[in-house]
Amino acid sequence: MAHLLNTSFIPTSQPLRRNPTSSAPALISGRRGRAQVQAKIREIFMPALSSTMTEGKIVSWVKSEGDKLSKGESVVVVESDKADMDVETFYDGYLASIMVEEGGVAAVGSAIALLAETEDEIAEAKAKASSSSAAPAAPAPAVAAPEPQPAKIADNVGPAVVPKAAATVASTHPASEGGKRIVASPYAKKLAKDLKVDLGSVVGSGPLGRIVAKDVEAFAAQPTVAVAAEPSVGKSAAAVAAEAGIELGSVVPFTTMQGAVSRNMLESLSVPTFRVGYTITTDALDALYKKIKSKGVTMTALLAKATALALVKHPVVNSGCRDGKSFTYNSSINIAVAVAIDGGLITPVLQDADKVDIYTLSRKWKELVDKARAKQLQPHEYNTGTFTVSNLGMFGVDRFDAILPPGTGAIMAVGSSQPTVVATKDGRIGRKNQMQVNVTADHRIIYGADLASFLQTLAKIIEDPKDLTF
């Protein structure tokens, strides 16, 4: 659901001022109740789209200055620390003045535009905006990346020039922010998915190079010409980097998402953690997966379900501490699963994973992954996890440690399942598939015995997975 733009009355006889209050809906009502009746011009504030968001970036203005707005209508697309969201207006009126242009960054709660109640007040609003002492937020540095150098790239990829190949090589345009992230409208992302178009190969024609629907349609209509990929062996580092749209030696500012990840990781350093590893035999789980895979079941959903069932018996491992003085036994078991996306990392949440059947859980997971990669997750879909799972097994990684997300009690790192020679109970040599899991936990609330007991329960569920399909 799109979020509503926070607005506040400002008296027509007073200059603009920044409202220091939070953008929470409850406080919006409070501001509205205290507003002066004679005020006709409203400040539109940068909304808080998640609990961790401190600033937002204007991806694009859906409406232009002077456009008439109706309550509930989309006005602007804002990039939060985790997603791009269409933001709606809370009031009827006219978009009188845009104070933060596309590509600009503004703190949560600061004014980004003015909303006039009538058309006659647009000129007055513009005058107030121009006379305001608060300067507009500067555009994000990432947008002002160095322009690509076609001549240099052409030398690296050879003389052959075909429509789609050329677009791929020149993919470092403003919409990709230095090759780190694709900036596209929500509809363009949906269209690209339907038409099976790689947005990284599309050059945007929108503001600041943003990809819009017509760009996707035009690219999809181009004839596909097969180009034989040259082997990377023997190529210089500069040549490989140029093909990937990376300029070696350049300094690339964090995206909004990378900034959020950085802050969370630094916050994690203040938590005293410890790690416990455990080896689990996966033969029975592998057999179950092969049996029900055709019904749409994913291995991620199976692992999340097994973890949730184990947490039912060990509620302390599902608890969390935020203030350093107390901890909470969470009433729900919400399994967050780490997913790598362009320019960052996000953890979609499978809510009530212990209560949902494996088939519904698998469908929900696929839906969450699609939304995550399109940057369309809503806050409750990524910030409500009570226990996190990070799985690198699909890359052949046999073991690793994960960093504890702030506010949660534990995170489990899952390695790949690999054939292993083991000793059987009768003293013979056998072969079994085994995987290594390592749990990182907050030692203020979870102790070694707690994790050991939890991992024993998890191993029993995975090694005899009959309960996973109930």
The residues carrying an active-site annotation are: 443
pLDDT at position 208 is 61
DSSP 130-180: HH-SSPPPPBPGGGGPPPP-HHHHHHHH-S---HHHHHHHT--SGGGTTTT
Is the pTM for the entire model greater than 0.85? Answer: no
Q: How far apart are CA 441 and CA 411, in angstroms?
A: 7
Per-position pLDDT tens, the chain of length 470: 445 555 554 444 444 443 433 333 333 333 444 334 344 788 888 888 776 677 888 888 888 888 888 888 888 888 776 677 778 877 888 888 888 888 888 888 888 888 888 877 787 777 777 766 444 444 444 444 444 444 333 334 333 333 343 333 333 344 444 444 577 776 777 778 778 788 878 887 776 677 877 778 778 777 654 444 444 456 778 778 777 778 888 888 887 778 888 888 888 888 999 999 999 999 999 999 999 999 999 999 999 999 999 999 999 999 999 888 999 999 999 999 999 887 778 899 999 999 999 999 999 999 999 988 888 888 889 889 999 999 999 899 999 999 999 999 999 999 999 999 998 878 889 899 999 999 999 999 999 999 999 999 999 999 999 999 87
Going by C-alpha positions, the residue among 352, 344, 386, 347 that lies closest to residue 368 is: 347
Question: What are the tens digits of pLDDT across the range 355-412?
Answer: 999 999 999 999 999 988 888 888 889 889 999 999 999 899 999 999 999 999 999 9
Q: Strands 429-442 and 273-281, how do they pair?
A: antiparallel
The answer to whether 99 and 80 are in contact (CB under 8 A) is no
Ramachandran angles phi, psi of 245, nearest 5°: 75, 25
Domains of the chain, with CATH numbers? 42-130 (2.40.50.100), 267-463 (3.30.559.10)
pLDDT at position 387 is 97
DSSP 226-284: --PPPPSTT--HHHHHHHTT--TT---PPPHHHHHHHHHHHHHTTS-EEEEEEEEE-HH
pLDDT at position 234 is 60
Q: How far apart are CA 107 and CA 99, in angstroms?
A: 13
Going by C-alpha positions, the residue among 107, 265, 77, 270 that lies closest to residue 183 is: 77
Ramachandran angles phi, psi of 105, nearest 5°: -120, 135
**Measured CA distances, 433 to 139, 286, 300, 415, 455 (Å):** 52, 9, 17, 12, 17
- The first and second tokens of residue 166, run together, are 């050329």
